[in-house]
Amino acid sequence: MGNSRIEQIIEEIEDYIDTCKGPLLGSSDKIVVNRERMEELLRELRLKTPEEIKRYQKVLANKDAILADAQAKADAIIAQANIQNQELVNEHEIMQQAYEQANQVIEMATSQAQEILDNATRDANEIRLGAIQYTDDMLANLQNMVQNLVDSSNSRYEAMMNNFQDFYNVITSNRAELAPQTNTEKSEEEPEEE
Protein backbone atom coordinates (compact mmCIF):
# COMPACT_ATOMS: atom_id res chain seq x y z
CA MET A 1 0.00 0.00 0.00
CA GLY A 2 3.03 2.25 0.27
CA ASN A 3 3.75 4.78 2.93
CA SER A 4 0.18 6.03 3.60
CA ARG A 5 -0.66 9.27 5.34
CA ILE A 6 -1.87 7.25 8.36
CA GLU A 7 1.58 5.65 8.67
CA GLN A 8 3.22 9.07 8.30
CA ILE A 9 1.07 10.46 11.12
CA ILE A 10 1.96 7.46 13.32
CA GLU A 11 5.65 8.15 12.63
CA GLU A 12 5.13 11.81 13.53
CA ILE A 13 3.49 10.78 16.82
CA GLU A 14 6.39 8.40 17.50
CA ASP A 15 8.97 11.10 16.73
CA TYR A 16 7.09 13.60 18.87
CA ILE A 17 6.89 11.18 21.83
CA ASP A 18 10.65 10.63 21.53
CA THR A 19 11.14 14.38 22.09
CA CYS A 20 8.94 14.45 25.21
CA LYS A 21 10.57 14.26 28.63
CA GLY A 22 9.34 12.72 31.84
CA PRO A 23 8.18 14.97 34.70
CA LEU A 24 10.76 13.37 37.00
CA LEU A 25 14.13 11.81 36.19
CA GLY A 26 13.22 8.56 37.93
CA SER A 27 9.80 8.16 36.23
CA SER A 28 10.00 5.32 33.71
CA ASP A 29 6.41 5.21 32.48
CA LYS A 30 5.22 8.82 32.25
CA ILE A 31 6.04 11.71 29.92
CA VAL A 32 4.71 15.24 29.46
CA VAL A 33 3.12 15.96 26.07
CA ASN A 34 1.77 19.13 24.49
CA ARG A 35 -2.00 18.58 24.44
CA GLU A 36 -2.61 20.75 21.35
CA ARG A 37 0.10 18.99 19.33
CA MET A 38 -1.15 15.51 20.27
CA GLU A 39 -4.79 16.46 19.56
CA GLU A 40 -3.76 17.92 16.19
CA LEU A 41 -2.03 14.68 15.18
CA LEU A 42 -4.96 12.54 16.38
CA ARG A 43 -7.49 14.81 14.62
CA GLU A 44 -5.62 14.44 11.31
CA LEU A 45 -5.42 10.67 11.84
CA ARG A 46 -9.19 10.55 12.32
CA LEU A 47 -9.78 12.63 9.16
CA LYS A 48 -7.67 10.25 7.05
CA THR A 49 -10.03 7.28 7.58
CA PRO A 50 -10.01 5.37 4.25
CA GLU A 51 -12.86 6.14 1.86
CA GLU A 52 -13.63 2.39 1.65
CA ILE A 53 -15.04 2.49 5.19
CA LYS A 54 -17.31 5.44 4.31
CA ARG A 55 -18.48 3.62 1.18
CA TYR A 56 -19.32 0.55 3.22
CA GLN A 57 -21.38 2.66 5.60
CA LYS A 58 -23.26 4.14 2.63
CA VAL A 59 -23.96 0.67 1.18
CA LEU A 60 -25.33 -0.51 4.53
CA ALA A 61 -27.53 2.59 4.70
CA ASN A 62 -28.89 1.67 1.24
CA LYS A 63 -29.66 -1.94 2.22
CA ASP A 64 -33.38 -1.14 2.66
CA ALA A 65 -33.45 0.50 -0.77
CA ILE A 66 -31.87 -2.62 -2.32
CA LEU A 67 -34.47 -4.88 -0.68
CA ALA A 68 -37.34 -2.51 -1.64
CA ASP A 69 -36.20 -2.55 -5.27
CA ALA A 70 -36.10 -6.35 -5.24
CA GLN A 71 -39.59 -6.46 -3.73
CA ALA A 72 -40.89 -4.07 -6.41
CA LYS A 73 -39.48 -6.31 -9.16
CA ALA A 74 -41.06 -9.35 -7.53
CA ASP A 75 -44.44 -7.58 -7.25
CA ALA A 76 -44.26 -6.57 -10.91
CA ILE A 77 -43.58 -10.19 -11.95
CA ILE A 78 -46.50 -11.45 -9.85
CA ALA A 79 -48.80 -8.69 -11.21
CA GLN A 80 -47.86 -9.62 -14.76
CA ALA A 81 -48.54 -13.28 -13.98
CA ASN A 82 -51.97 -12.36 -12.59
CA ILE A 83 -52.77 -10.37 -15.73
CA GLN A 84 -51.78 -13.30 -17.91
CA ASN A 85 -53.87 -15.58 -15.71
CA GLN A 86 -56.94 -13.34 -16.10
CA GLU A 87 -56.51 -13.15 -19.85
CA LEU A 88 -56.20 -16.92 -20.12
CA VAL A 89 -59.22 -17.54 -17.87
CA ASN A 90 -61.33 -15.25 -20.06
CA GLU A 91 -60.63 -17.52 -23.04
CA HIS A 92 -63.55 -19.93 -22.57
CA GLU A 93 -62.29 -22.55 -25.02
CA ILE A 94 -59.07 -23.10 -23.14
CA MET A 95 -60.22 -22.15 -19.62
CA GLN A 96 -58.81 -25.23 -17.91
CA GLN A 97 -55.51 -25.07 -19.75
CA ALA A 98 -55.29 -21.34 -19.00
CA TYR A 99 -55.87 -21.98 -15.30
CA GLU A 100 -53.06 -24.53 -15.15
CA GLN A 101 -50.69 -22.31 -17.09
CA ALA A 102 -51.53 -19.33 -14.88
CA ASN A 103 -50.71 -21.33 -11.76
CA GLN A 104 -47.40 -22.34 -13.27
CA VAL A 105 -46.60 -18.70 -14.12
CA ILE A 106 -47.51 -17.59 -10.58
CA GLU A 107 -45.33 -20.32 -9.05
CA MET A 108 -42.44 -19.39 -11.33
CA ALA A 109 -42.90 -15.67 -10.59
CA THR A 110 -43.07 -16.32 -6.85
CA SER A 111 -39.92 -18.46 -7.07
CA GLN A 112 -38.11 -15.75 -9.03
CA ALA A 113 -39.27 -13.08 -6.58
CA GLN A 114 -38.00 -15.14 -3.62
CA GLU A 115 -34.71 -15.73 -5.40
CA ILE A 116 -34.30 -11.99 -6.00
CA LEU A 117 -35.03 -11.27 -2.33
CA ASP A 118 -32.63 -14.00 -1.18
CA ASN A 119 -29.86 -12.76 -3.48
CA ALA A 120 -30.34 -9.15 -2.38
CA THR A 121 -30.25 -10.14 1.30
CA ARG A 122 -27.16 -12.32 0.78
CA ASP A 123 -25.38 -9.56 -1.16
CA ALA A 124 -26.15 -6.99 1.51
CA ASN A 125 -24.87 -9.34 4.24
CA GLU A 126 -21.69 -10.11 2.29
CA ILE A 127 -21.04 -6.40 1.79
CA ARG A 128 -21.61 -5.80 5.51
CA LEU A 129 -19.32 -8.67 6.59
CA GLY A 130 -16.64 -7.63 4.10
CA ALA A 131 -16.75 -4.05 5.34
CA ILE A 132 -16.56 -5.17 8.98
CA GLN A 133 -13.59 -7.42 8.15
CA TYR A 134 -11.86 -4.58 6.30
CA THR A 135 -12.45 -2.21 9.23
CA ASP A 136 -11.13 -4.82 11.68
CA ASP A 137 -8.02 -5.36 9.52
CA MET A 138 -7.38 -1.60 9.48
CA LEU A 139 -7.82 -1.39 13.26
CA ALA A 140 -5.53 -4.42 13.78
CA ASN A 141 -2.87 -2.76 11.62
CA LEU A 142 -3.23 0.46 13.61
CA GLN A 143 -3.08 -1.54 16.87
CA ASN A 144 0.16 -3.22 15.75
CA MET A 145 1.71 0.13 14.81
CA VAL A 146 0.78 1.62 18.21
CA GLN A 147 2.12 -1.49 20.01
CA ASN A 148 5.40 -1.24 18.09
CA LEU A 149 5.57 2.44 19.02
CA VAL A 150 5.05 1.61 22.72
CA ASP A 151 7.58 -1.26 22.62
CA SER A 152 10.28 0.78 20.87
CA SER A 153 9.73 3.75 23.21
CA ASN A 154 9.96 1.49 26.28
CA SER A 155 13.15 -0.19 25.05
CA ARG A 156 14.79 3.17 24.27
CA TYR A 157 13.84 4.50 27.70
CA GLU A 158 15.12 1.33 29.40
CA ALA A 159 18.45 1.63 27.53
CA MET A 160 18.77 5.26 28.63
CA MET A 161 18.09 4.34 32.29
CA ASN A 162 20.67 1.53 32.07
CA ASN A 163 23.23 4.09 30.84
CA PHE A 164 22.38 6.34 33.78
CA GLN A 165 22.76 3.39 36.16
CA ASP A 166 26.17 2.54 34.69
CA PHE A 167 27.23 6.18 35.01
CA TYR A 168 26.01 6.23 38.61
CA ASN A 169 27.96 3.03 39.38
CA VAL A 170 31.17 4.54 37.93
CA ILE A 171 30.75 7.67 40.09
CA THR A 172 30.11 5.57 43.20
CA SER A 173 33.20 3.46 42.47
CA ASN A 174 35.34 6.57 41.94
CA ARG A 175 34.21 8.07 45.24
CA ALA A 176 34.94 4.83 47.04
CA GLU A 177 38.47 4.87 45.64
CA LEU A 178 38.95 8.49 46.74
CA ALA A 179 37.58 8.03 50.26
CA PRO A 180 40.56 6.13 51.83
CA GLN A 181 43.06 8.67 50.42
CA THR A 182 41.05 11.56 51.82
CA ASN A 183 40.95 10.00 55.30
CA THR A 184 44.74 9.29 55.20
CA GLU A 185 45.57 12.90 54.23
CA LYS A 186 43.44 14.28 57.08
CA SER A 187 45.11 12.07 59.71
CA GLU A 188 48.65 13.10 58.51
CA GLU A 189 47.80 16.82 58.72
CA GLU A 190 46.27 16.68 62.19
CA PRO A 191 48.82 16.99 65.09
CA GLU A 192 48.98 14.16 67.52
CA GLU A 193 47.41 14.91 70.86
CA GLU A 194 49.50 14.17 73.96
Determine the average pLDDT of the residues in 75-84.
Answer: 88
pTM of whole model > 0.85? no
| 118-131 residue pLDDT tens | 999 999 999 999 98
Over its C-alpha atoms, the chain yields an Rg (Å, rounded) of: 39
| 2-59 residue pLDDT tens | 567 788 888 988 898 888 877 666 566 788 888 999 999 889 888 876 654 665 577 7
Alpha-carbon distances, residue 36 vs 28, 39, 45, 48, 176 (angstroms): 23, 5, 14, 18, 48
Determine the average pLDDT of the residues in 94-103.
Answer: 81
Average pLDDT, the chain: 82
SS3 at position 66? helix
pLDDT of residue 76: 92
Cβ(47)–Cβ(69) under 8 Å?
A: no
